[in-house]
Amino acid sequence: MREPDRVAVVSAGVVTPIGQDVDSFWSALVTGTSGISRIERFPVDDLRVQRGGEIKKLARERAGETPGCRASRLLIAAAEDLLARAGGAPLARDARRIAVVVGTALGGVEEGERALAGDRRPSRLAAALYDGPARALADWLGARGPVLTVSTACASGATAIGLAADLLRNGVADSAVAGGYDVLCRFVMKGFDALRSLTRDEVRPFDRRRSGLLLGEGAALVLMEREHDRSARGGGRLGYLLGHASASDGSHISAPDPNGRGLQVATRAAMKQAGVGADEIEFVSAHGTGTPLNDRIESAVLKRVLGKRADRVPVTSIKAHTGHTMGAAATLEAITCLLAWRHGQVPHTLNLEEPECDLDLVMLGPRSCRPRISLSTSLGFGGCNAALILEGA
Amino acid sequence: MRPARLPAPMVVATGLVSGWGRGLEALPDRAEEAAAGRPVIAIEGPVVVGDRFRRASRECLLAVAAVEETLQSGIPREVLAGNRTALLYATLSAYGASNRAFIEGARATSLHFPYTAPSAVPAEVAIEFGITGPYVIFLGGAPAALSALWYAGTLLAAAACDRALVLAVETFNECADLYARGRWLVGRPLVEAAVAVLLEPGAGVLTYSEARSGRRVRASRSTGRRRLGEAFACGPLVELGLARATGAGPLDLSLTGAWRGTEAVLRWAEARPTWSQKKFSTS
């Protein structure tokens, strides 16, 4: 990759059901902590499945200082973690050169539920628009550059990171805060419950006994800069985004393409952009929802893309730890890739005991290895697929 | 670092379905006068039929209809198929009706839940036309459409695709009471619309900038609004289509859009007119 195109991931911040900062998130991943519990924040008694990755109490929340919208509060909590880790330095010299690119599957739909339930405050209605939380984050950050909301369903967090990289590479912004979020709410629980996608068992990605997913909530953000700017400014990096791509399946409104066509196109395109061959990929942070269809299709694509090395590249899914955090998921999984390099450990796939395929699935406990170059794959409703190629620093 | 100057894509074709009728020629000179006080100019009746669409939401059908309109200029459907066509979609509102129907129970089944996702709209287009290339969905007002156009320019410049279909859909009728409550945020008349613009690599200069003014002035503003009315993400695409349709020479215009304190400008300057020579072959 040409040096001017290289985009550095400077810092990260998260809020998840298993940890409300990057350190506690990582610690929970490698110790196999589950964030799944009975949902308490809204009524679920009439639903078939009543569990999910719910954040019970936001640790950094201070009354009156953050917006009323929960989605915005999650984003701001993640941004607080990100800024603390970035060392307190300003994001850019000029606030007009700071971009905010955020992905979401649900936006402020919970606010829409409240507005339709009789809350007539205009602010509630405005917050129901899916682009509201990204604007709240930009306001909180003092960012005055582009504010983009993308919604490629559960691939949104990867799409946002890729788009932010393109804003930087094309000089539209000098730094970008990018990532994703989503909130567990009755709307989405009712929807997935109706689809019968939720399991009454544990989430078991890539296990032959897997029977579905559980939803979760969270927010994850990364701070990105062009590498040559970062070098000039000095300071550390978590890693680099080497390549990214997206592709549509064009096959079904909610199910993935049975041959994984879109995911394969996106993965190969991301590898091409990164200038990375299959023999260089050392870790895969998979989408791995635990649904029968997703995991079968994804493992078949990984076998095709990785070729002869498919049984030697560690693959993991973190969705049994956190639940499927939808818009946040792909960003959390990208951060996992970079943390694996930093800590020299790959987290295991929780609840995986009987692997269905012959990929090198990391199971039963974390594995000691230091993957420099990683692939993160994501799929979503509407045939959305995205892939990221990351390098640890 | 200054914003990169991308090659300005060539506008190959535009398709529009709106509350005013089909095509750019259906637009009135002044939307506000033509609306005669009506708050919403809705698109009436079915626009696309077929068994595959029996559960699709109205916004999905409008999107497919807009792309069909784009092909009316003689472009074979096969041109769009495959992974060399990018699909970039922008909307502010075209999930509101399906979300509301699901929340209120009118369409709260497993068959209807997937249609609550904004991605359902471009998904139906991708399925119908076999599009499997780069795929991004931008949410917001007119700036979201400008972001989509700019992103199409970056994908074409990087040869990540051979053509880009930029699509916007806005619907209001099912949520007209909610928009009435949010009058301070949106303009009038609200005009339902679906517009598609097909782009291919071109020559010239495309530059993009977007910034938050922080001013709490008019919540929404875009070029194209005078004739179309308030149609958020559709506005800049309609303006681009109007410029292409009315000008014989190279395109040279600034598309602007504002939404909730964000203002975006896309400068589109073609080096030479190229579109009229475009011939399509599926061989």
Q: Identify the three-state secondary structure at position B57.
A: coil
Question: What is the amino acid identity at position B74?
Answer: G
Tell me the two tokens of residue A160: 């946002």
CB-based contact B140 A148, cutoff 8 Å? yes
Who among A149, A195, A265 is closest to B139 (CB)?
A: A149
Q: By the CB < 8 Å criterion, does B177 face chain A?
A: no
DSSP letter string, A190-227:
HHHHHHT-B-SS---TTBTT---B-BB-EEEEEEEEEH
Task: Write down the domain spans for chain A.
Answer: 7-233, 242-392
Q: Is the model's pLDDT at A3 over the cut of 60?
A: no
Instruction: For residue B157, count other CB atoms closer than 10 A to its CB.
Output: 17
In a domain, B56, yes or no: yes
The DSSP symbol for A374 reads E
Domain limits for position B40: 10-277
Report pLDDT for A281: 98
Q: Identify the three-state secondary structure at position A387.
A: strand
- Number of structural domains chain B divides into: 1
CB-based contact B118 A151, cutoff 8 Å? yes
* Cα separation, A20 vs A4, whole angstroms: 34
In a domain, B282, yes or no: no
Residues 6+ apart with CB under 8 A from A170: B3, B4, B6, B154, B208
Stretches in chain B below the pLDDT threshold 70 = 1-3, 46, 214-223, 272-283
CA B33 to chain CA centroid, Å, is 23
Cβ-based contacts of A194 with chain B (< 8 Å): 108-110, 113
Report pLDDT for A2: 47
Residues 6+ apart with CB under 8 A from A390: A9, A239, A240, A241, A242, A334, A337, A338, A373, A374, A375, A376
| Strand (E) or helix (H) holding B102 | helix B96-104
| Strand (E) or helix (H) holding A339 | helix A329-343
Catalytic residue among A244, A321, A324, A348: A324
| Strand (E) or helix (H) holding A161 | helix A156-169
* Cα separation, B267 vs A161, whole angstroms: 25
Q: What's the 3-state SS for B132-148?
A: CCCEEEEECCHHHHHHH
CB-based contact A152 B119, cutoff 8 Å? yes
CB-based contact B3 A144, cutoff 8 Å? no
Phi, psi of B240 (to 5 degrees): -65, -45
**CA dihedral sign, ordered A278, A283, A285, A290:** positive
* Cα separation, A34 vs A17, whole angstroms: 8
The DSSP symbol for B2 reads P
Report pLDDT for B283: 41
Taking only the tens place, the pLDDT of each residue in A41-71 is 999 999 999 999 999 999 877 666 667 799 9
Q: By the CB < 8 Å criterion, does A149 face chain B?
A: yes
Instruction: For residue A142, count other CB atoms closer than 10 A to its CB.
Output: 12
CB-based contact B135 A192, cutoff 8 Å? no
Q: Nearest Cα to B98, choosing from B114, B75, B77, B81?
A: B114
Cβ-based contacts of A43 with chain B (< 8 Å): none
CA A315 to chain CA centroid, Å, is 16
Same topology, domains A7-233 and A242-392? Answer is yes
Q: Is the model's pLDDT at A1 over the cut of 50?
A: no
Phi, psi of B254 (to 5 degrees): -115, 120
Q: How far is CA A308 from CA A181, A261, A302, A304, A313, in A?
A: 36, 20, 11, 9, 10
Read off the CATH number of the domain in which B18 is found.
3.40.47.10
In a domain, B259, yes or no: yes
Tell me the two tokens of residue A276: 């990375």
Q: By the CB < 8 Å criterion, does B110 face chain A?
A: yes
Q: Are A367 and A345 in contact (CB under 8 A)?
A: yes
Taking only the tens place, the pLDDT of each residue in A66-108 is 677 999 999 999 999 999 998 877 787 899 999 999 999 999 8
Taking only the tens place, the pLDDT of each residue in A12-51 is 999 999 999 999 999 999 999 999 999 999 999 999 999 9
Q: How far is CA A9 from CA A172, A176, B87, B117, in A?
A: 17, 10, 27, 29
Report pLDDT for B275: 52
**Radius of gyration of the CA atoms of chain A, in A:** 19
Report pLDDT for A124: 82
**CA-CA-CA-CA dihedral for A154, A156, A161, A162, to nearest 10:** 100
In a domain, B50, yes or no: yes
Tell me the two tokens of residue A22: 């990057």
A97 HSE (CA, 13 A, CB side): 18
Q: Are B260 and B219 in contact (CB under 8 A)?
A: yes
Q: What is the pTM of this model?
A: 0.96
Phi, psi of A65 (to 5 degrees): -105, -10
**CA dihedral sign, ordered B198, A103, A160, A267:** negative
| Strand (E) or helix (H) holding B98 | helix B96-104
Taking only the tens place, the pLDDT of each residue in A173-206 is 999 999 999 999 999 999 999 999 999 999 999 9
In a domain, B1, yes or no: no
In a domain, B218, yes or no: yes
Pairing mode, strands B204-212 and B262-270 = antiparallel
CB-based contact A151 B135, cutoff 8 Å? no
Tell me the two tokens of residue A324: 């499927």
Q: Which CATH architecture has domain A242-392?
A: 3-Layer(aba) Sandwich (3.40)
* Cα separation, A335 vs A358, whole angstroms: 25
**CA dihedral sign, ordered A168, A172, A173, A179:** negative
Question: What is the amino acid identity at position A222?
Answer: V
**In this structure, which CATH number among 3.20.20.140, 3.30.9.10, 3.40.47.10, 3.40.50.10470 belongs to the domain A7-233?**
3.40.47.10
* Cα separation, A132 vs A116, whole angstroms: 17
Phi, psi of B225 (to 5 degrees): -75, -30
Tell me the two tokens of residue A159: 């799409």
Q: Which of residues 14-53 of B touch A (CB under 8 A)?
A: none
In the numeric block, the tokens 């994908």 are attached to B155
Q: By the CB < 8 Å criterion, does B208 face chain A?
A: yes
Residues 6+ apart with CB under 8 A from A349: A205, A206, A288, A315, A316, A317, A318, A320, A361, A362, A363
Q: How far is CA A344 from CA A22, A341, A356, A389, in A?
A: 16, 5, 27, 18
More confident residue, B51 or A210: A210
Taking only the tens place, the pLDDT of each residue in A233-273 is 888 899 999 999 999 999 999 899 999 999 999 999 999 99
Report pLDDT for B2: 67
Report pLDDT for B100: 94
